[in-house]
Amino acid sequence: MAPKHTLPGLPDRGRCLVMGVVNVTPDSFSDGGAWFDPERAIEHGLGLVGEGADIIDVGGESTRPGAQRVTSTEELRRVEPVVRELASRGVAVSVDTMRAEVAACAVEAGAVLVNDVSGGLADPEMARLVASSGVAYVLMHWRGHSHDMQSRAVYTDVVQEVLDELRDRMEAMIDAGVDPGQIVLDPGLGFSKRPDKAHNWALLQHLDRFRELGRPVLVAGSRKRFLSRLLGDAEGQDRPFVGCDAATAAVTTLAADRGAWAVRVHDVRPNADAVRVAAAWSDGGAHLDEGRAEPMGRGGL
Is position 264 annotated as part of the catalytic site?
yes
The predicted pLDDT at position 66 comes to 64
Residue 224 CA to residue 209 CA, distance in Å, equals: 22
- State residue 33's pLDDT score: 61
User: Is residue 224 flagged as an active site residue?
Assistant: yes
Helix or strand holding residue 140 (H, E): strand 136-140
For residues 18 and 231, give the distance between their C-alpha atoms in angstroms, rounded to a whole number: 24
Q: What is the pLDDT of residue 241?
A: 87
Per-residue pLDDT at 29:
52
CA dist., res. 295 & res. 150, Å (int): 41
> Could you tell me the strand order of the sheet in which 136-140 lies?
183-186, 136-140, 113-116, 93-96, 55-59, 17-23, 262-265, 218-219
Residue-level pLDDT at 148: 72
Q: What is the pLDDT of residue 299?
A: 38
Catalytic pick among 193, 224, 225, 276: 224
Expressed in angstroms, the distance from the first to the final Cα of the chain is 32
Mind listing the pLDDT tens digit of every residue in the chain (301 residues)? 555 788 999 999 999 999 999 999 876 555 556 666 899 999 999 999 999 999 999 999 977 666 677 899 999 999 999 999 999 999 999 999 999 999 999 999 999 999 999 999 999 999 999 999 999 999 999 998 866 777 789 999 999 999 999 999 999 999 999 999 999 999 999 999 999 999 999 999 999 999 999 999 999 999 999 999 999 999 989 999 889 999 999 999 999 999 999 999 999 999 999 999 999 999 898 887 776 556 544 433 4
Catalytic residue among 15, 99, 264, 269: 264
| Cα angle for residues 254, 211, 169 (degrees, 5° grid) | 115
Q: Which pTM was predicted?
A: 0.91
Q: How far apart are CA 274 and CA 249, in angstroms?
A: 6
Secondary-structure breakdown of the chain: helix, strand, coil percentages, each rounded to the nearest 5: 45, 10, 45
